[in-house]
Structure 1
Amino acid sequence: MKKPLILVLFFSFFSYSQEGIIDYLLVEKDSSSFYTFTKEGVYFSSFDENNKLNYSFNSYTKPPPKTFKDVPTNTFSAINLNGVVYLLYPGGGMLYQYSQGAIERIDESFPHRNQFAGFFFAYNDELYLLGGYGYWASKNFLTKFNFDSRSWEFLSISGETPKGGINQGSFIQGKNSIYVFDFFSTQPESLVDKKNDFLYELNLSKFLWIKKGRLSSASPAISIEEAMLSVRVKYGNSLFERAENTSAFRIVDPLRNCVKIYSSENELSKLSKNSIFIGSKIVYASQSADNSTFKITFAEINSYPLISTQKHVLDSQDVFLKYIVFSSLFLAFLIIFLFAFFKNRDTLYSLSELSLFNEKGLIILTKEESQILQLFADSIIVENNSILEVFSDESKSFDAIIKRKNKAIKELNHRFNKVFKKDLIFKNPDKFDSRQIVYSLGSKTRILKDLTNPSSRV
């Protein structure tokens, strides 16, 4: 009698293959097993100690509701709460539970169609739906299912609410918070979906939005169409993400502000959006060659090589320190540059008909002094003979002319030094003929003719 019983049990466990599945939904059961929901029943799958995937199949004990059967199974969102699997209708509203071998509808609502791609989660034994898209706009509100009234209700949230809603976002649930990032918001003026570059935290104990910081390592899915095709799966307290047509995947951990990027080449190219993690194994449905059915398979995520590690969000303290360092370097460079500039630039003086001046002061000139400075306005080095011509007088001896010149330059230097604290004109030997002398202006000193003075124009 034992052999037939063993054969019956053996047949019950292995007679159903997880190949050729047409419509399915993968749901985590516990740390080593999972459900595969279909229209006809449920596969119970688990990994043994040798990492072999074993499975059995149970038909539903009674037919599921028609509203459940009319919608593709993989479009439902699912949560395993206290051993009961809750299945949410796409877009929100109708809610089902799988318990005691049957799927039953438990709400008195209707298809909301207002929160497609929203985040369905459980907190303190309550069911919530956050964000999503519907009726041509992204949503940022939070709804909760009331088990007493069997309906959904809106919750009031304060804080820095993401403007424009949350569509096709990435979500991570912490102990008392939901972290939201890499999502798209609807721009009210154009109804265009634009990617949001910030990480947000929804504190569930206070129902408070907190804007955490700008993303440093954003998703490679830059358009909403690419985001819809990407695979994003909860992986412990992190998020697994693989964008379409990429040879790498990311493990995003907002709690540790860390993003790890791994190379997968093309080995995970057949991942489905409805994938789950059981431990470190990603379980998914691989499409058959004829693209009409699926086969449940898995991959060990730890077998792929790490490429790089990046920060998820720009650390405010790091940014501040970098800003201080950069600002200090810039300020030091600016001070050195300005010091060198002002130290080496020429000091300018404007020459009018009978005065010499700049922003620091002014001196009155005699006619001869003005004529001398006119020569220096044309050249910073003037020959002795050119200055002597200013004092040329046929009734005077040459020695008298020289004395008048020397006295004029001496008095001009004296008055100039009194106002500007330095000498103006210096006498030097001519470098081409040491027997001759020349006059030059002081170092970094220039005289400009005042063009407003008619007498200084050519």
Structure 2
Amino acid sequence: MFKKGLIILLLFSLTVQSQEIVFKISDQQLTALDREKGLLLQFSGDSLTTIDLEVFKIKSKTALKLPLEFTFIEYRPIWQNNTLLLSEKDGGKVYAFENDSLVRSDRSDIVHWQSDSSLFHRNDTIYKYGGYGYWTTSNALTYLNPISKGWEVISTKGLEVPKSTHTQIHFLNKNNLIILGGYHLSAKNRLKALYQYSVWIYDFKLKIWSYLGQSTIEEMDQYMRIDTGPEGTHELFNTQRSLVKIDVINNETSYYSENPLYFNVEMDLNLPIYKYKNAYIYYKKKNKNLLLSKVTENLFVQQKTGNGSLFIHQKNRTLYTVFSLLFGVLIIVLWLILKKRKKKKKTLFVFEHKISFNKKEAFLEPSEYLILKTLIVNPALESAQILSLIYNESLTKSHNEKIKNTLIESLNLKLSYVIGGSGAPIASEKSPEDKRIRIYSLKIPQVKVRLEK
């Protein structure tokens, strides 16, 4: 009985923490979140589906009266205070709702401009920043003038302005607009977009742009901004790289561990992710359906894995680069010094009266020095050649031969002592041309030999 009760409790717990509503993909063309009423508004075709986020159920479906040739796919939602407006993605048109009808609320004639721009609301005004149009990118900050009903460019003060971009990430923070990244088209090559990692901040009161630095977030172009609301935290999401929370003012980022739930989040269709109260709301694709999912924050956000900086200022980056170069040079110099020392340790120094290797020394007799010197200059010596170096006419040939062998044996002992190792440094072998002749050579390939005066 206890086990059965525990299983029921676990199932109930999972149901409470994660909920889903199934839709066809064609049922979703535009989504907006009414935070005041706790409703998710989903538009498709000529209808509106309203979802109550508290109970997470469809509340109502409403037929809408739309302008001729209007389609929701071509618009983005933006809230002006408590009024929902739809802004054209590829132009300047703005629509507002009057009961179940859409009516034009602007007088703009702008077309094919500021596509993929940042769209946001501040105080009682709607703004756009950046975007793409006519084979170029823009860095214009525009607003919908409430009197003229047209889009106008805000003139800025100061000498610094961001590079023109589209598809950048933006955040609002009191009197500031923060811009992260974006794709830039240069005048030299308008067919190749280059991603920018720069971070800029705009002061609405001073009308001044300020460059903060270069973002440290890797593959930032793969992240999307989570809609956390005007008072929410700044969060970025990537199905492969997990969740990042950003504190722009303190230049901090918090990274969180991966979650199996993330792989199901639909990002290819560019659908929104919302953070509402203590839950995350997102879409995931399953076969030909879309599943609207609601997951509690404690289930969606995993353990924090680390903190970092959002950006590094260019001056700091330059200092860092210079420091890195100097550090690299220092490493190379140290490596060369160590290599030189290493080479010195592997060098056998042969003096007239001694041999020296790695602080070990052995004294040489004049005859030993003569034989060793000759072996260094001539890599291979016949037995008779060595014998001629130390030959004493007053002694018999056999006695001279014995002295030669004794000197070579003595040299081998001394060389083995200073160099180390078990083999004989001076080795002999039969001549390949005449087997009766023995050839002597110095066999210490691991050691460099140098004659010293």
Using structure 1 for the length normalisation, give the TM-score.
Answer: 0.58
Output the CA distance in 2 between the equivalents of 1:286 and 1:75. Answer: 22
Counterpart for residue 236 of structure 2: 240
Q: How many corresponding residue pairs?
A: 305
Amino acid at match of 1:309: N
Amino acid at match of 1:109: S
1:25 aligns with 2:30: yes
Distance 1:333 1:183, change over 3 A: closer
Counterpart for residue 265 of structure 2: 270
Counterpart for residue 183 of structure 2: 184
- Provide the secondary structure at the position in 1 that maps to 2:162: coil
Amino acid at match of 2:282: Y
Deviations 1:277-322 (A, max 9, x none): 2234332233341x3x433222334423233332211268987997
Amino acid at match of 1:80: W
Paired residues for 1:150-189 under 5 Å:
150-159=149-158, 160-163=160-163, 165-189=164-188
Distance 1:298 1:255, change over 3 A: farther
Output the CA distance in 1 between the equivalents of 2:125 and 2:59. Answer: 30
Output the CA distance in 2 between the equivalents of 1:108 and 1:45. Answer: 32
Amino acid at match of 1:54: K
Note the C-alpha offset of 1:105.
1.6
The answer (yes or no) to whether the contact 1:182–1:218 under 8 Å persists in 2 is no
Amino acid at match of 1:139: S
The answer (yes or no) to whether the contact 1:89–1:111 under 8 Å persists in 2 is no
Deviations 1:400-430 (A, max 9, x none): xxxxxxxxxxxxxxxxxxxxxxxxxxxxxxx
Using structure 2 for the length normalisation, give the TM-score.
Answer: 0.58
- Provide the secondary structure at the position in 1 that maps to 2:249: helix
- Provide the secondary structure at the position in 1 that maps to 2:213: strand
The answer (yes or no) to whether the contact 1:261–1:309 under 8 Å persists in 2 is no
The answer (yes or no) to whether the contact 2:245–2:255 under 8 Å persists in 1 is yes
The answer (yes or no) to whether the contact 2:65–2:100 under 8 Å persists in 1 is no
Deviations 1:302-353 (A, max 9, x none): 423233332211268987997999899999999x9xxxxxxxxxxxxxxxxx
Paired residues for 1:51-450 under 5 Å:
52-60=55-63, 63-67=65-69, 69=70, 71=71, 73-110=72-109, 112-159=111-158, 160-163=160-163, 165-191=164-190, 192-221=192-221, 227=222, 231-235=224-228, 236-242=232-238, 246=240, 248-256=242-250, 257-265=252-260, 267-272=262-267, 273-275=270-272, 276-289=274-287, 291=288, 293-303=289-299, 304-306=301-303, 307-314=305-312
Amino acid at match of 2:23: E
Distance 1:185 1:261, change over 3 A: farther
Output the CA distance in 1 between the equivalents of 2:315 and 2:174. Answer: 25
- Provide the secondary structure at the position in 1 that maps to 2:139: strand
Note the C-alpha offset of 1:259.
3.9
Note the C-alpha offset of 1:82.
1.9
Counterpart for residue 420 of structure 2: none
Note the C-alpha offset of 1:171.
0.7
The answer (yes or no) to whether the contact 2:282–2:294 under 8 Å persists in 1 is yes
- Provide the secondary structure at the position in 2 that maps to 1:128: strand
Q: Any stretches of 5+ residues in structure 2 without a counterpart?
A: 1-20, 335-453
Amino acid at match of 2:52: S
Output the CA distance in 1 between the equivalents of 2:306 and 2:44. Answer: 39
The answer (yes or no) to whether the contact 2:41–2:49 under 8 Å persists in 1 is yes
Output the CA distance in 2 between the equivalents of 1:210 and 1:139. Answer: 17
Note the C-alpha offset of 1:56.
1.2
Output the CA distance in 2 between the equivalents of 1:136 and 1:195. Answer: 16
CA RMSD of aligned residues (A): 3.6
Distance 1:23 1:217, change over 3 A: closer
Output the CA distance in 1 between the equivalents of 2:129 and 2:101. Answer: 27
Distance 1:58 1:83, change over 3 A: farther
Amino acid at match of 1:232: R
Deviations 1:248-278 (A, max 9, x none): 2333332332242431236443324221222
Note the C-alpha offset of 1:119.
0.9
Tell me the percent identity: 15
- Provide the secondary structure at the position in 2 that maps to 1:297: strand
The answer (yes or no) to whether the contact 2:212–2:312 under 8 Å persists in 1 is no
